[in-house]
Structure 1
Amino acid sequence: MITVENLTKRYGDHTAVDDVSFACTPGQVTGFLGPNGAGKSTTMRIIAGLTPATSGSATVGGRAYREIPNPATQVGVLLDASAQHAGRTGAEILRLTAMTLGVNRSRVDDMLEMVSLTPEEANRRVRNYSLGMRQRLGIANALLGDPHILILDEPANGLDPAGIHWMRTLLRDYANRGGTVLLSSHLLHEIEIIADDILVIGHGRIVAQGTKSDLLAAQGTRVRSLDDAALAAALAGAGIRTLPATDGGFTTEAAPEEVGRVAATAGIALMELRPGDGAQLEEMFLELTQQTQREQPVLQGVPS
């Protein structure tokens, strides 16, 4: 189990992580989402004992990472797949880790087979690896000590669709066997498929957390019209906040009858008006982090 309580990290006047609290439980994959610079990687580095917190605590299995004897046998960590010795082969890196951890050398071959690195690839120097191959090697290294907790920062980066499917299957099986997984990713669709619980962070603060089913449950109204720009302006004039939907129109927390009344008053013909039937993760993510993103959506024809 991973437990984070009132965690804060400041760099001078900048607060990278601001009073963050959450827990990741055994048997669950927890997806950690947020815009670039939101505080995901800093939080994970603090959990893994690489960055000291300004205040608060982060424990893994009830202990701070630095207090765990031979920690890689308890916690597997992959924070940067590129941070591997470029002059060594993949097999050498795993053998050195096995020696450090005191695990049987036969486990190196098991892990290479599990992550689908061939003998030829395993004996190639890491400088000649693709990013996807480095991700596979990093995952093998994280699992070498047979830990019961995994902390992975963007592990799907560089993987092709088949590799992403492989990773998803691997992590799902790991959690189903009682493992705890904390997984950050910018691939929202992958988080939507694999995660049981979701954390959303923006400007260093948790803006939403809960089970995937709760966070993606039906909400508000789905509306689409013949003139979405005019509809957006009319709804904004009525004090109704909207979020653009990926296929046109909007989602809003207002009731359908309220949205319909505004559209009728403005003389806007509606093509769709219905209760929300479950927000997609992208829509939820954009809505929850709307005030913390660098790129803000621009609606054509809507006064700013």
Structure 2
Amino acid sequence: MIVVDHLTKRYGGFTAVEDVSFACRPGRVTGFLGPNGAGKTTTMRVMVGLTPASAGRVTIGGHAFASIPNPGRHVGVLLDASAQHAGRTGREILALGATAMGLPSSRVDEMLHLVGLTDGEAKRRLRNYSLGMKQRLGIAHALLGDPSVLILDEPANGLDPAGIRWMRGLLRGYADRGGTVLLSSHLLHEVEMIADEMILIGNGRIVAQGDQRSLLASRGGAASALVMSLDNARLGAALAAAGHAVTPAGPGLRVAATAEQVGRAALDAQVVLTDLRDGGGGLEELFLELTSSSQRDAIGATR
């Protein structure tokens, strides 16, 4: 379990993180969301002892990171996939980590296989890795010691769609086995696909936290679904009759309703659905609203 207790970090007159408190529990994926520069990375660096706190504290399993013996066996960390010696091969990087943690060399092969790096790729030097390969190697290094806690900063950077799906499955399985996952990102959609809970940060302060349903309910947000069918006109009429707002969205419809409500309306109207997904509009609007003061694009749009 990770506990962040009234954490503050100042750099001279600049406050990067201010009075931040939250907890990440075993068996759950916690999404740490915010625009670039919101304070996510600073908070995570304090967690793992790379940056000292100005006030407050962070504990992992009840201990400060610096006091955990052989920390790689308890906490897996990926903050910067390029933060390894560029002249070493992927296999050498993992082998050094295994030696430092007192692990058998067979663990290196297990991790390379787990993250999908081939023998040929493992023999390449890090400088010749793509960003996606560096991310896979970084995830392998984080998992090397079979830790109970994972702290990952933007792990989807550089991964292709198949790689992102693979990562989601890997982290979901890890949490389902009782692991604690803290996953930071500025990409709302990727996190909401996997996170059990979300923490939204803007300008160094927590602006909201909870699961998707409670976040929307607390701000009066509405559910949204995207749907396509063999008869959109008939489906739209059935949804409207049931009291749901319906608007065209490309080849389909956007509906102010949950996916379950859309499915039930389609069943009652005997319309065949060809696609149905969470529209995410309510949560996205909530995220943009709560972090608007730290969104760079909003500033540029006013010029």
Q: Matches of 2:161 and 2:216 in 1, distance apart?
A: 24
Give the match for residue 10 of structure 1: 10
1:38-66 per-residue CA deviation (whole Å, 9 max, x = no partner) reads 10000000001110000100000100000
Give the match for residue 178 of structure 2: 178
Quote how far apart the aligned CAs of 1:219 are.
Answer: 2.4
Q: Which amino acid aligns with 1:142?
A: A
5 Å-filtered alignment, 1:188-199, equals 188-199=188-199
Provide the alpha-carbon RMSD of the alignment: 2.3
Q: Matches of 1:71 and 1:171 in 2, distance apart?
A: 20
Matched-pair contact (CA < 8 Å) for 1:175–1:181? yes
Quote how far apart the aligned CAs of 1:98 are.
Answer: 0.3
Matched-pair contact (CA < 8 Å) for 1:202–1:292? yes
Give the match for residue 266 of structure 1: none
Per the normalisation by structure 2, the TM-score is 0.78
Runs of 4+ in 1 over 4 A off after TM superposition: 297-300
Give the match for residue 139 of structure 2: 139
Q: Matches of 1:49 and 1:134 in 2, distance apart?
A: 23
Give the match for residue 294 of structure 1: 296
5 Å-filtered alignment, 1:133-282, equals 133-217=133-217, 219=220, 279-282=281-284
| Aligned-partner SS, 1:296 | helix
1:218-257 per-residue CA deviation (whole Å, 9 max, x = no partner) reads 82579xxxxxxxxxxxxxxxxxxxxxx9x7xxxxxxxxxx
Q: Percent identity?
A: 68
| Aligned-partner SS, 1:141 | helix
Give the match for residue 75 of structure 1: 75
| Aligned-partner SS, 2:297 | coil
Cα 1:278–1:12, aligned 2, differ >3 Å: closer, same or farther? same
Q: Matches of 1:203 and 1:220 in 2, distance apart?
A: 22
Q: Which amino acid aligns with 1:288?
A: L
Quote how far apart the aligned CAs of 1:298 are.
Answer: 8.5
Q: Matches of 2:182 and 2:104 in 1, distance apart?
A: 27
Give the match for residue 127 of structure 2: 127
Q: Which amino acid aligns with 2:92?
A: E
Give the match for residue 114 of structure 1: 114
5+ long unaligned stretches in structure 2: 224-246, 250-278
Q: Matches of 1:46 and 1:36 in 2, distance apart?
A: 17
Q: Matches of 1:297 and 1:106 in 2, distance apart?
A: 52
Matched-pair contact (CA < 8 Å) for 1:216–1:279? no
Quote how far apart the aligned CAs of 1:299 are.
Answer: 8.5
Give the match for residue 271 of structure 1: none
Matched-pair contact (CA < 8 Å) for 2:200–2:287? yes
Matched-pair contact (CA < 8 Å) for 2:216–2:222? no
Per the normalisation by structure 1, the TM-score is 0.78
Quote how far apart the aligned CAs of 1:160 are.
Answer: 0.1
1:63-118 per-residue CA deviation (whole Å, 9 max, x = no partner) reads 00000000010000000001111101000000000000001110100000000000
